[in-house]
Every structure is written in C-alpha cells, then in structure tokens.
Chains A and B, each alone.
Chain A
Amino acid sequence: MSAGSDRRRAEAAQPASTGGVNPSGQTTGLFDDLRDLYQEVILDHGRKPRNFRRLDDATATARGDNPMCGDRIELFVKQAPDGTIAEAAFQGRGCAISTASASLMTETVTGKTAEQARALGAAFRELAMTGTCPDCGAALADDMERLAPLSGVHEFPSRVKCATLAWHTLNAALDGAQEASSE
C-alpha cells in the first residue's frame, strides 16, 4: 500500500465520518464533488429517459454495444424523404450517464439533417473527451449548451465511452452499419 493511497483513504474517511452540515450551513456529503459529473439533468434523464421506446416505422436502426461494461442500446431513427431526422428513439440498458446521453441525443438530433447530426456528434465527442469544443462554432452553440451537462465526463476517462456510445450508434444507423461499439 503506497503512502499516496493511505493519504487518500484518510481524506476520504474524513467526510464519510463527519458528513452532515458544514460551517456555512450547507449539507455536506461524501460525494458532493461528483455533482459536476452527475448534474441534476443527468440524473433526471438517467431515471426517466426521453424517447425511450421502439419506433416501428424507423427508416434506420443500429445497435450499440459497449462490451466492457455491458451497456447496450438499440437506436431508431425515422428520416423524412429529404433526409431530416423526424424522430429518434432508443431502448436498452446502461448506466445513468449512457442513458442520459442517449436521451439527450434523441432530443437534440430531432429536426436535424444527417450531416448536421454527424457534425453535432463530432462536436459532442470533443466535448466529452476534453471538456470544451473551441471549434464548435455558433451554429452548434444552442445544441452544445443542451449537451453541456455531460461535459464533466472528460475528467473520468473510464466513463467517456458511456457518454459517446449513443452518438457512435447514431453514426452507425446513418451509415446503415447496424452495429456500433464504443470500445
């Protein structure tokens, strides 16, 4: 056991044993600093995912798997004759982050052309990996703001793939590839 991990454990044990109310009157908990990762919007979409259903009249579908952690989604996209995404929905199972990301994605890509959706996906992957997207531009600003609650994953490298699985799967669906993996 290294000195580093001993110190870390000692620090961790402190809030665990004293969790309650801090001097400024706020409730303190062991996991307060994880609220950036698990913002209320993430927890909400994780518990109650939007567009969580099959689309029987989908024009494109794909399955996304993350074999390392078992996350799995089935994505349904219904494109209008001009290619615009009229509806997007998903089913599957996964952690709060992957479920919330898929839920937010189905909301943000509705009304987009395939090219716009791909561009948004590329920008989102940049956001998830680095926490920012300097080259995203004004055209994506509104959508990126909606997806910003997921930017906290960039500090958790092992969780980035949870957030990006849905977007990999969307690309696969638009490519007609039917299967995607975020591994």
Chain B
Amino acid sequence: MPPFLGGGDMISVVTFEKSEWAPVPAKFEAGTPAIIEAVGLHAAIDYVTAIGMGAIEAHERALVDHATARLAQVPGLTLLGAAQDRGGVFAFGLDAAHPHDLATLLDRAGIAVRAGRHCAEPLHARFGLENGTTRASFGLYTTKDEIDLLAQALAEAREFFK
C-alpha cells in the first residue's frame, strides 16, 4: 500500500530515481509525531490519577442523582433514558421550545449544551423526536450549583417561549 502523505521519518532511502519507504508504521506516519498530544495525555493521566478514579466516579454519581431529581422538577421537561448506572449525560426535550432555540437561550445563561440528534437520527425517530433533543453533559469539573442553574434556566426558557 503506497503512503498517502510524504514527510519526515517515513523514508529509508531517497534517490533521484526512486524512494524506499521506512517499515510500517513509520511509512504511514509522515511528519512531526503528535508530541504535544502525548505530553497532554500524560498530564491528563496524572491529573485524574491524583484525584482518583473512585473519587471521580463518586462525584459523577452524586451529580447524576442531583440532576435526575432537579430536572424532574422542571415543568414540561422529558428526560430520555433511565438506566441504573447512567453516566453524567442527560438528553431531554422541553415541550415549549425547539432544541436549537433552547440551546441559544442556555448559551446566553453561560450553559453549553448540544442540540440536535446527536448522530442518532434513527433513535430520535424511534422516540418520535424528529426535532431532536438537547443534551447536557457533566464531568468531574461540574458542580451541583451549575446543575441548579441549568434547571432554573430551563424553567425560565419555558416561560420565555410559552
């Protein structure tokens, strides 16, 4: 298989007549390797290791419980999925607002969400949600206060569009 890209470290011999490629995988890895990415990955691994996977899991479970309770109180909100061991990812619909209108409002409140069909168009069709859903994701850097702000913003957004 010929390489699709030329560059540093992917040849063994180059003459005017022809080039010989380095053995794989170098042949297919022309140019500067992903040094910054590797250093960044190392830092990320150090970071989560210092906090501890157990602590991260406990934090995320607490956020999931809190969000499940708070979002259930938002009028007109339908939460998708009810798995026992769900992660901190919540997709929902709000009766008064299209997901993209809702995302614009939440953005104004400083809350970044994804709106649309999340690369799962057939699943949204299966649930009769052709307009898609809005999705908020929580991680170890998310706080309960932020989830409260989300719930409050959703309730206000509903009033805005009603």
Residues of chain A lying within 8 A (CB to CB) of residue B20: none
Chain A interface: which of B22-30, B70-78, B107-115? B107-115
Known A-B contacts A93-B130, A95-B98; A68 and B104 likewise in contact (beta carbons under 8 Å): no
Pairwise interchain contact B116-A16, C-beta atoms closer than 8 A: no
A64 CB to closest chain B CB, in angstroms? 15
- Cβ of B110 and Cβ of A95 under 8 Å apart? no
- B46 lies within 8 A of chain A by Cβ: no
A93 to B116 Cα, complex, angstroms = 13
Taken together as a complex, chains A and B put the C-alpha atoms of A16 and B147 apart, in Å, by 12
Describe B's contact surface by its main secondary structure. helix
Interface residues on A, range: 20 to 34
Interface centre among B100, B117, B132 (most CB of A within 10 A): B100
Give chain B residues whose Cβ lies under 8 Å from the Cβ of A11.
110
A59 to B110, CA, bound (A): 47
Q: Does A134 make an interface contact (CB < 8 A)? A: no
Contacting A at CB under 8 A, from B67-108, are 97-101, 104-105, 108
Question: Which residues on B are within 8 Å of A, measured CB to CB?
Answer: 97-101, 104-105, 108-111, 115-117, 121, 130-132, 141, 145-146, 149, 152-153, 156-157, 159-161
